[in-house]
Amino acid sequence: MYREKFHYVGLYKMNFMVIDSDDPDKIERKYEIDIESDTWYASTHLYKIGNGKGAQKCVFIVLNSNAPYKSRLPASMAHECVHAAHFILRNSGVRSDFYNDEPVTYLVEYLYNIVYKFMKNKL
């Protein structure tokens, strides 16, 4: 099983993708990343699409809705959205801190809505 949803986060000029797959090898080949195939069911990555001056960064969340930990999937989605939000903010030059956490909380909410809409039929 493999499906993905691409989204552009315009405010931060960053690409964002959600992948739902039970085939870590396919993801590793397609995006040249290392997924711990024996233990994974959720992870977040920063990836460059393309080469040279035209290369664009993409933050993506990889989920496995067929994993034995399916009951934990909603919490894992939120967890990975926090990682993704920090990747996006850091790579957009926005600094989040404990005294002004609104940028990260609004972005987590925005990303979670995207992920939830993509995954809701698998929950």
pLDDT per position as a tens digit, 24-67: 888 888 887 777 665 567 788 877 776 777 778 899 898 988 88
Q: What percent of the chain has pLDDT over 70?
A: 95
Q: What's the start-to-end Cα distance of the chain, in Å?
A: 15
Residue 95 confidence (pLDDT) above 90: no
pLDDT > 80? residue 77:
yes
> What pLDDT, on the 0 to 100 scale, is given for residue 112?
97
Determine phi and psi for 69, rounding to 5 degrees.
-95, 25
Percent residues over pLDDT 90 in the chain: 45
CB 35, CB 28: distance < 8 Å: yes
The per-residue pLDDT for 38 is 55
Number of folded domains in the chain?
Answer: 1
Residue 86 — very low, low, confident or very high, per pLDDT cuts 50/70/90?
very high
Residues 6+ apart with CB under 8 A from 118: 5, 18, 20
Question: Whole-number mean pLDDT of the chain?
Answer: 86
Closest CA relative to residue 24, chosen from 2, 50, 49? 2
Range of the structural domain that residue 97 is part of:
2-122
